[in-house]
Amino acid sequence: MFEAVTEGFGDRVNTIVEVALHINRVMGEEITSGDMETVIWPRGVIFEPKAMDDAGGEAFSHEEEAIVLCTTELGLRKATQEGKGGLSARESTLLLKPKVALETLVAQMAVTTKKSRR
């Protein structure tokens, strides 16, 4: 029976199998998928205006190296996994920068407290 089916429909079945394998490869490799990820910055990193916003809104001199105290508001990034021709690459796009408090905020609060006590 197998031989009869193969002789009568072999070429058609072969074509269907090749198309199915192609679709499987395209679905697995060439379609872009993405995930949304939260973004935070740990204490001690140097403030980077392109990657984070200053929650204190200080008039910050970019020549100084301000240090992050903590993240006050989460950021959001879209991470995508793209595959073409058997190769895979991960890309991310920052959609919303996280807000951070800087260590200079503590000193600024101390100065403000001293002024208000006078």
Question: What are the boundaries of each domain within the chain?
Answer: 32-117
Among candidate residues 38, 34, 36, 62, the one with its CA nearest the CA of residue 50: 62
Is residue 88 within 8 A of residue 79, CB to CB? The reply is no
Dihedral (CA of 64, 100, 45, 103) sign? positive
Q: Can you tell me which residue has the tokens 């950021």?
A: 75
| pLDDT tens digits, 59-79 | 555 557 899 999 999 999 998
Closest CA to 75 of 38, 44, 42: 38
pTM of the model: 0.59
| pLDDT value, residue 57 | 76
Q: What is the pLDDT of residue 90?
A: 81
pLDDT at 5: 60
